[in-house]
């Protein structure tokens, strides 16, 4: 074989390696995106769980419902009317009187169902005595309903994205290294 043909084969091998390298970099990038997205969602879910767990230490005291109503809003002409439960309640903590309007730390949800909000109004009628939860560190912060710890029980789900992203990156690097090693062996032979 003339020496000119060997150069042609080596040149062809280099061209083959570049698209493979680009594919590996693409997979590493996608894996990194999976890791970042999973990490962000895991962080948000952990914060929600941690906040709900912290509420379990809040003092439960009686409070009087001062106002209870259904609020409504209309965002645009294409969107129907939405309804939410609004409440004001008063309570006394360590000899001081406070009022609050917070149903929960997340607030009362907006819904297209007026009946759902009306059910909450019926559950918290004006003049009724109900339990509310007070933050001992900040007695002006109170809620009628503590947040759910459910995000903590679902924390495994975003972790799947992190593990999958790491697996994609490891697989891409291993594949790239394997191709490079075989190319180096080809050069030596």
CA distance 125 to 46: 34
Burial-class residue 30 by CB neighbours within 10 Å (0-12, 13-18, 19+): middle
pLDDT digits (tens, 9 = 90+) for 79-113: 888 999 899 999 999 999 999 999 988 878 888 88
**C-alpha angle 57/47/154, rounded to 5°?**
100
Among all chains, which residue has been given the structure tokens 């090693």? 181
* Mean pLDDT, rounded, of the chain: 85
pLDDT digits (tens, 9 = 90+) for 142-153: 999 988 888 888
Q: Which of 50, 57, 3 is nearest to 149 (CA)?
A: 50
Strand order in the sheet with 96-100: 96-100, 82-93, 59-73, 129-135, 138-143
């Amino acid at each position: 074989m003339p020496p000119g043909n060997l150069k042609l084969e080596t040149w062809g091998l280099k061209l083959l390696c570049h698209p493979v390298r680009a594919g590996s970099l693409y997979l590493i990038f996608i894996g990194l995106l999976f890791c970042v997205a999973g990490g962000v969602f895991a962080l948000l879910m952990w914060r929600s769980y941690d906040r709900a767990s912290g509420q379990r230490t809040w003092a439960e005291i009686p409070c009087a419902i001062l106002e209870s109503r259904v609020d409504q809003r209309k965002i645009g002409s294409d969107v129907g009317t939405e309804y939410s439960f609004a409440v004001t309640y008063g309570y006394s903590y360590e000899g001081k009187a406070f009022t609050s309007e917070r149903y929960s730390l997340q607030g009362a949800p907006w819904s297209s169902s007026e009946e759902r909000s009306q059910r909450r109004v019926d559950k918290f009628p004006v003049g009724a005595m109900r339990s509310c939860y007070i933050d001992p560190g900040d007695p002006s912060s109170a809620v009628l309903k503590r947040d759910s710890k459910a995000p903590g029980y679902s924390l495994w789900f975003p972790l799947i994205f992190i593990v999958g992203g790491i697996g994609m990156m490891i697989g891409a690097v291993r594949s790239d290294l394997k191709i490079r090693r075989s190319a180096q062996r080809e050069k030596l032979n």
